[in-house]
């Protein structure tokens, strides 16, 4: 297995971890209060979701690449 595929797997795992971390943080009391008053998730949650999605997409691209 090449270094590119290993790097892709690492990025996928990191991306899924970030997305899960954002999901867990979205259920916290502070985030729930922020969402109740502002109507949208906190910036930290959104950053983790976006970074997780980008990392997972980049990892999938690298893993599928020849």
pLDDT of residue 32: 79
The pairs formed by 3-11 with CB atoms below 8 angstroms and a separation of 24 or more are 4/62, 4/63, 4/65, 5/62, 5/63, 7/59, 7/62, 8/58, 8/59, 8/60, 8/61, 8/62, 8/63, 8/64, 8/65, 9/59, 9/63, 10/59, 11/55, 11/56, 11/58, 11/59, 11/62
pLDDT tens, residue by residue, 6-29: 999 999 999 999 999 999 988 888
Q: What is the pTM of this model?
A: 0.83
pLDDT in tens, 45-60: 899 999 999 999 999 9
Would you place residue 36 in the very low, low, confident or very high pLDDT band (cuts 50, 70, 90)? confident
Question: What is residue 15's predicted lDDT score, i.e. its pLDDT?
Answer: 97
């Amino acid at each position: 297995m090449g270094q590119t595929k290993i790097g892709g797997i690492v990025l996928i795992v990191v991306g899924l971890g970030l997305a899960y971390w954002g999901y867990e943080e979205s259920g916290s009391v502070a985030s729930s209060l922020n969402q109740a008053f502002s109507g949208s998730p906190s910036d930290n949650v959104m950053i983790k979701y976006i970074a997780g999605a980008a990392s997972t997409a980049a990892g999938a691209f690298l893993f599928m690449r020849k």
